């Protein structure tokens, strides 16, 4: 019991730190939100400039009160189910994801700095080797991230049902005023809702 208290205290501290120091927005409070038959504790903030909700590395969910209040209840449910799926993912896959995330920095480093070897007179074959190594690490991470996002959308479609999922997703997409960088990221790591629905139908055919 006492250990749980310490963990909760650390989670709170790290989550508030995450909101404040990464400038995700102004922290408001930790409180419950009720959507559908869910009652979930989240860390609310406002004036955010990124995604409206996010699961942190400490298994907490941060929730942009101001941007989420401007969307429909169905869209909020979609966001919540997606984030809950991230949070409740099995520890093995989470370990793989964090491992790949830690590999990303050396991967990018190899990729960006390998051309410098050429200037130092290294043979071209060496450059090819390091570009292939760097690219493989980065591509591997992107693939794992993509699977993670599709998994979260898949859990959301299971929770909401096809129609609600598609309606909420389409409305959410058209309503977002994402920056160019965010739009590119969306294309790279998110699966189109139609493809999530296809997967859902295939896996539920026998039902």
- Ranges assigned E (strand) in 47-129: 53-55, 61-64
Name the maximum alpha-carbon separation found in the chain: 64
The Cβ of residue 55 has, within 10 Å, a number of other Cβ atoms equal to 18
Which residue is listed with tokens 């920056």?
179
Q: Phi then psi for 192, rounded to 5 degrees?
A: -60, 140
What is the size of the binding site for Zn ion (CB under 5 A)? 2
β partners of residue 41: 32
Q: Transcribe 83-100 into DSSP letters.
A: HHHHHHS-HHHHHHHHHH
Cβ closer to Zn ion: 136 or 179?
179
Using alpha carbons only, give the angle 84, 194, 138 rounded to the nearest 5 degrees.
65
Minimal distance, residue 189 CB to Zn ion, in Å? 8
What is the rounded distance in angstroms from the CA atom of residue 51 to the CA atom of residue 24? Answer: 9
**Window 64-93: contact mask with Zn ion (x via CB under 5 A):** ------------------------------
Which of 17, 95, 5, 1 shows the shortest CA–CA distance to 56?
A: 17
Minimal distance, residue 47 CB to Zn ion, in Å? 21
Cβ closer to Zn ion: 81 or 149?
149
Minimal distance, residue 206 CB to Zn ion, in Å? 28
Cβ closer to Zn ion: 2 or 187?
187
Minimal distance, residue 118 CB to Zn ion, in Å? 38
Q: Which of residues 110-149 bind Zn ion (CB under 5 A)?
A: 149
Cβ closer to Zn ion: 27 or 151?
151
Minimal distance, residue 92 CB to Zn ion, in Å? 19
Q: Which of residues 144-163 bind Zn ion (CB under 5 A)?
A: 149, 152
Cβ closer to Zn ion: 42 or 152?
152
Site residues for Zn ion per CB under 5 A: 149, 152
């Amino acid at each position: 019991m006492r250990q749980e208290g310490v963990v909760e205290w650390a989670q709170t501290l790290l989550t508030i730190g995450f909101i404040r120091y990464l400038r995700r927005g102004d922290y408001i409070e930790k409180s419950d939100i009720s959507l559908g038959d869910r009652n979930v504790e989240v860390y609310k903030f406002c004036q955010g400039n990124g995604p409206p909700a996010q699961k942190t590395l400490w298994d907490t969910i941060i929730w942009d009160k101001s941007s989420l209040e401007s969307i429909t209840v169905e869209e909020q449910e979609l966001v919540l189910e997606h984030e809950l799926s991230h949070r409740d993912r099995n520890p093995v896959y989470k370990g793989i994801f964090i491992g790949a995330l830690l590999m990303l920095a050396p991967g990018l480093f190899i990729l960006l700095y390998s051309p410098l070897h050429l200037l130092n007179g290294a043979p071209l074959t060496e450059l090819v080797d390091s570009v292939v190594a760097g690219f493989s690490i980065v591509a591997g991470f992107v693939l794992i991230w993509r699977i993670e996002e599709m998994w979260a959308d898949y859990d959301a479609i299971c929770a909401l049902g096809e129609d609600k999922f598609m309606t909420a997703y389409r409305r959410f997409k058209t309503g977002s005023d994402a920056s160019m960088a965010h739009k590119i990221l969306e294309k790279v790591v998110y699966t189109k809702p139609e493809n999530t629905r296809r997967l859902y139908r295939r896996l539920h055919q026998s039902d």
